[in-house]
């Protein structure tokens, strides 16, 4: 289905409700829709093979007296992404919930319920998602009249109400601090004996208010340095995604060399991220030897990054208009040398892991999800590719210089944790291949394209970058004050975490760590939105006595 056909079929189906459409860039569509038909239109797109990406809510009361909401859908095979844009009057910010049809929209709707005060009648789980448990009702932090540094007075000891336990189950609290989690998050796991029956998640405990901060306090070219700190692993992913979204919105085209350098940064990141995860996976099934060796191999990527960028991580490289440092010929030779060594080490590592029957015993058949349900939950990255869903933004929505590079997208049909590990192991070799090609094909030229005057205001751009964990999505609406009017980040973990209860169901509690680990969860990526310093809030929510009670409670 081409972009024209989707527009005409939408018009045919919804007639007057389709108010207009535009295409901010190739492969990008925006359709303005009357909000009364939103749920039907979303279902229409899903039924035609669309994959729900994320929703973007915005406070536009100053310009149009409305709250805006855009639901984005990707058509991977047809290579375009479409946004259903709708708005509701400021007096009644109500939208039909699309979650009953599209479970992965659940968090988006809960997020804007918390942050913008939107209402979504029909939502199956209208609970708090983002703001602290004691955050006062009626203060919606992402609204423009709420200052970015507001600290509301604390209220009494309120706690999140966990889901009702299914009969005959016991709650095992995993978190807010637990050896399986490397960041704070709380999973209440409902077990029957050792079998997991249900799981409730309460996260968003480390909010930094990054979106609000960048929409109100800093300028365009300061954002990349904040964006890359959204995540401790995929820094370049977020800065590239943000910069591409701005460049798309403003219609900037950047030098080709810079695009190739971005590819090198992104793939180096994938190399060290996958090695990190495979190591952690080893640790989670109690196999520390795998952990130590994976991290030993990984270390040389970190050293290389340090030489290239000045940082152990590929931080501080990407800005709007290109990159900040060139890859010198000496550097290029060094990268080749490291890649050669890396390839040999990864090959022997791959052989050892892939043939180890005791690892198979702990990962095969664990966290099994059939392909249809992977699609239903819009799972991303290796989590989806390990379960037979062939999506990869590098190929489906080529950005930077990926259109000139040949690589395979490994897909397995195992449908379990083992599949996701195999996919990651194979992707390591693809990344090495990609970096080699990028270095060979890189044309000479400047690495930074300066943009002269102010960027045009109120233009839309959204960029899709394949992070090691799956698709990262950044939406930018340019603003008038040399900063984005609206910037929305959706890291892959945001989507994959929503599928965790499904992956856990009917598995053994002993497999909880590896199943959660198999999505390579990045809570910092997910927890990026809210507004205040949460330290005080967290203390209140998890008082010592309550922690004690919770950690000992048996029912």
Partner 1 sequence: MRFLAPLVNVAIFLALAPLFEGVLRKLTAKIQSRQGPPLHQPYLDLLKLLGKERLDSAGTWPFRFAPLLAFAAILAVAAVIPFGGRANILAGRMDVILVIYLLTLGGASVLFGALAGRNAFGLIGASREMVTMIMVEPILAMTLILGAVKLGSLSLAAAVPSAAGASYGISNALMLLVYLLALQAFVARQPFDIAEAEVELLEGPFIEYSGGNYALFKYAMMLKQMFYAWLFVSVFLPFLRTGVYPLDLLIQLLAMFVVFLLIGLVGSTNPRMRIDQAVRYYAVLIAAALAAVGLGVWGH
Sheet holding 80-89, edge to edge: 18-25, 28-33, 80-89, 66-75, 51-60
Interacting stretch for partner 1, rule CB under 8 A, among 125-133, 153-161, 235-243, 283-291? 283-291
Neighbour-count burial for 119-135, b at 16+ CB within 10 Å, e otherwise: bbeebeebeebbbbbbb
**Residue bearing tokens 């015993």:** 361
CB within 8 A of 88, min separation 6: which ones?
A: 35, 66, 67, 69, 94, 95, 118
**Smaller CB separation from partner 1, 263 or 278:** 278
Which residues are 487's β-sheet partners?
A: 476
**Smaller CB separation from partner 1, 133 or 345:** 345
103, 382, 461, 513: which one contacts partner 1 (CB under 8 A)? 513
Helices (H), 377-491: 381-385, 393-396, 417-441
12, 26, 156, 179: which one contacts partner 1 (CB under 8 A)? 179
Residue 75's nearest CA partner among 54, 49, 101 is: 49
Q: What is d(CA 554, CA 546) in angstroms, rounded to the nearest whole number?
A: 14
Residue 297's nearest CA partner among 275, 312, 315 is: 275
512, 519, 526, 530: which one contacts partner 1 (CB under 8 A)? 512
Give me the least distance between CB of 160 and partner 1, in Å please. 18
Interacting stretch for partner 1, rule CB under 8 A, among 66-74, 171-179, 229-237, 454-462? 171-179
47, 91, 444, 551: which one contacts partner 1 (CB under 8 A)? 551
Interacting stretch for partner 1, rule CB under 8 A, among 48-56, 167-175, 324-332, 385-393? 167-175
71, 283, 313, 394: which one contacts partner 1 (CB under 8 A)? 283
Q: What is d(CA 90, CA 32) in angstroms, rounded to the nearest whole number?
A: 18
Interface mask toward partner 1 for 340-369; x: CB under 8 A: ------------------xx-xx-------
Residue 250 binding partner 1, by CB under 8 A: no
115, 172, 346, 384: which one contacts partner 1 (CB under 8 A)? 172
Instruction: Tell me the two tokens of residue 375.
Output: 């699609």
Q: What is d(CA 385, CA 274) in angstroms, rounded to the nearest whole number?
A: 14
Half-sphere exposure of 29 (CA within 13 A, CB side): 25
Residue 521 binding partner 1, by CB under 8 A: no
Give me the least distance between CB of 169 and partner 1, in Å please. 12
Residue 417's nearest CA partner among 277, 270, 271, 522 is: 277
H or E element in which residue 416 lies: none
Angle between helices 417-441 and 256-284 (to 10 degrees): 150
**Residue bearing tokens 């960048």:** 214
Give me the least distance between CB of 474 and partner 1, in Å please. 33
Residue 170 binding partner 1, by CB under 8 A: yes
Residue 307's nearest CA partner among 284, 283, 282, 334 is: 334
What are the helix and strand counts (H, E) for the chain?
A: 21, 13
Tell me the number of residues near partner 1 by CB under 8 A. 36
Q: What is d(CA 343, CA 433) in angstroms, rounded to the nearest whole number?
A: 10
Residues 285-304 that bind partner 1 (CB under 8 A): 285-293, 296
Residue 206 binding partner 1, by CB under 8 A: no
Residue 150 binding partner 1, by CB under 8 A: no
**Smaller CB separation from partner 1, 195 or 536:** 195
**Smaller CB separation from partner 1, 19 or 549:** 549
Give me the least distance between CB of 106 and partner 1, in Å please. 27
**Smaller CB separation from partner 1, 173 or 446:** 173
57, 141, 282, 415: which one contacts partner 1 (CB under 8 A)? 282
Give me the least distance between CB of 328 and partner 1, in Å please. 32
Interacting stretch for partner 1, rule CB under 8 A, among 59-67, 128-136, 173-181, 456-464? 173-181
Q: What is d(CA 528, CA 106) in angstroms, rounded to the nearest whole number?
A: 17
Which residues are 80's β-sheet partners?
A: 75
How is residue 182 annotated by DSSP?
S
Residues 308-337 that bind partner 1 (CB under 8 A): none
**Smaller CB separation from partner 1, 78 or 511:** 511
Residue 535 binding partner 1, by CB under 8 A: no
**Residue bearing tokens 């703001």:** 131
Give me the least distance between CB of 492 and partner 1, in Å please. 23
Give me the least distance between CB of 82 and partner 1, in Å please. 42
Burial of 67 (0-12, 13-18, 19+ CB in 10 A): buried
Instruction: Tell me the two tokens of residue 383.
Output: 């989590």
Give me the least distance between CB of 194 and partner 1, in Å please. 7
Give me the least distance between CB of 362 and partner 1, in Å please. 5
Interacting stretch for partner 1, rule CB under 8 A, among 143-151, 431-439, 442-450, 504-512? 504-512
Q: What is d(CA 461, CA 83) in angstroms, rounded to the nearest whole number?
A: 11
Give me the least distance between CB of 432 and partner 1, in Å please. 22
- 321 prior amide bond cis, ω within 30: no
**Smaller CB separation from partner 1, 204 or 512:** 512
Q: Which residues form the interface with partner 1 (CB under 8 A)?
A: 170-173, 178-180, 194, 282-293, 296, 358-359, 361-362, 508-513, 548, 551-554
């Amino acid at each position: 289905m081409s972009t024209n056909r989707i527009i005409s079929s939408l018009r045919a189906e919804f007639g007057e409700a389709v108010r207009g459409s535009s295409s901010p860039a190739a492969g990008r569509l925006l359709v303005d829709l009357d909000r009364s038909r939103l749920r039907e239109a979303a279902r229409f797109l899903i039924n035609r093979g669309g994959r729900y990406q994320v929703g973007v809510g915005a406070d536009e009361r100053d310009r149009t007296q409305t709250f805006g909401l855009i639901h984005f859908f990707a058509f991977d095979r047809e290579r375009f992404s479409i946004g259903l844009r709708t708005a509701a009057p400021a007096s009644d910010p109500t939208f039909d919930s699309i979650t009953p049809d599209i479970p992965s929209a659940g968090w988006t709707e809960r997020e804007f319920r918390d942050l913008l005060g939107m209402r979504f009648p029909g939502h199956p789980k209208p609970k708090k998602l983002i703001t602290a448990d004691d955050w006062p009702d009626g203060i919606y932090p992402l609204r423009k009249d709420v200052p970015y540094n507001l600290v509301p007075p604390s209220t009494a000891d309120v706690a999140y109400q966990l889901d009702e336990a299914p009969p005959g189950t016991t709650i095992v609290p995993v978190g807010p601090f637990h050896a399986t989690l490397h960041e704070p998050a709380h999973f209440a796991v409902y077990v029957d004996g050792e079998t997991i029956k249900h799981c409730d998640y309460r996260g968003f405990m480390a909010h930094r208010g990054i979106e609000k901060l960048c929409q109100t306090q800093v300028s365009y070219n300061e954002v990349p340095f904040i964006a890359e700190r959204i995540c401790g692993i995929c820094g370049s992913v977020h800065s590239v995604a943000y910069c591409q979204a701005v460049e798309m919105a403003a219609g900037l085209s950047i030098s080709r060399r810079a695009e190739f350098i971005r590819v090198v940064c992104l793939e180096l990141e994938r190399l060290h991220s996958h090695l990190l995860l495979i190591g952690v996976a080893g640790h989670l099934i109690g196999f520390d030897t795998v952990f130590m060796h994976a991290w030993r191999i990984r270390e040389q990527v970190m050293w290389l990054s340090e030489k290239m960028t000045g940082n152990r991580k590929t931080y501080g490289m990407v800005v709007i208009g290109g990159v900040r440092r060139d890859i010198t010929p000496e550097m290029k030779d060094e990268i080749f040398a490291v890649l050669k060594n890396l390839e040999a080490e990864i090959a022997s590592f791959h052989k050892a892991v892939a043939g180890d029957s005791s690892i198979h015993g702990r990962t095969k058949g664990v966290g099994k999800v059939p392909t249809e349900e992977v699609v239903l939950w819009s799972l991303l990255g290796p989590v989806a590719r390990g379960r037979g869903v062939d999506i990869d933004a590098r190929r489906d929505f080529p950005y930077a210089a990926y259109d000139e590079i040949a690589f395979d997208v490994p897909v397995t049909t195992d449908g379990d944790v083992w599949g996701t590990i195999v996919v990651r192991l194979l992707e390591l070799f693809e990344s090495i291949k990609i970096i080699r090609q990028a270095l060979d094909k890189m044309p000479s030229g400047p690495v930074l394209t300066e943009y002269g005057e102010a960027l045009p205001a109120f233009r839309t751009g959204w960029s899709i970058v394949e992070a090691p964990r799956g698709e990262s999505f950044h939406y930018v609406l340019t603003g008038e004050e040399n900063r984005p009017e609206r910037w929305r980040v959706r890291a892959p973990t945001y989507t994959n975490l929503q599928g965790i209860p499904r992956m856990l169901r009917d598995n053994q509690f002993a497999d909880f760590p590896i199943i959660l680990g198999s999505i390579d969860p990045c809570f910092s990526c997910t927890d990026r939105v809210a507004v205040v310093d949460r330290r005080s809030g967290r203390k209140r929510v998890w008082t010592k006595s309550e922690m004690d009670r919770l950690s000992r409670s048996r029912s």
